[in-house]
Amino acid sequence: MEILTATCCPYCDSWLDIESMLTTEKLKEMQFFLTCPECNKTFSTFAKTVIKVNVSSIEERIDAEKDSLVFWEKAKMRDKAFKNERIEERKECIQKLESIKERNDSKE
């Protein structure tokens, strides 16, 4: 989870690590209360939780992963280990997707 806005206590103006304070239960409520670890005062919060799910066919995902693989293979980077890790991740993902595609094709 990543919170993009800086959040400060409304009482003492100290920076709050809201992310560490959140729980799934609190996010379900949308409106809840938190306590500042600096001044120990409780304040009201409102959270809007957005979950975005992208759905695509296995074939579309394979094509996207292959495009990503080509990108990483052509990338000119100083950090060869990082580049090789990305390439291996893409190859493993493509293999997994190809396996799923085979299973899907056998169900037709």
Residues 4-17 have pLDDT tens digits of 566 888 999 998 88
Task: Give the global pTM.
Answer: 0.54
CA angle 18-2-68, nearest 5°? 170
Burial 16-46 (b: 16+ CB within 10 A, else e): beeeeebeeebeeeeebebebeeeeeeeebe
How far apart (Å, rounded) are the C-alpha atoms in residues 9 and 7? 7
- Give mean pLDDT, residues 33-55: 85
pLDDT band, residue 51 (cuts 50/70/90): confident
Side-chain-side CA neighbours of residue 11 (13 Å): 11
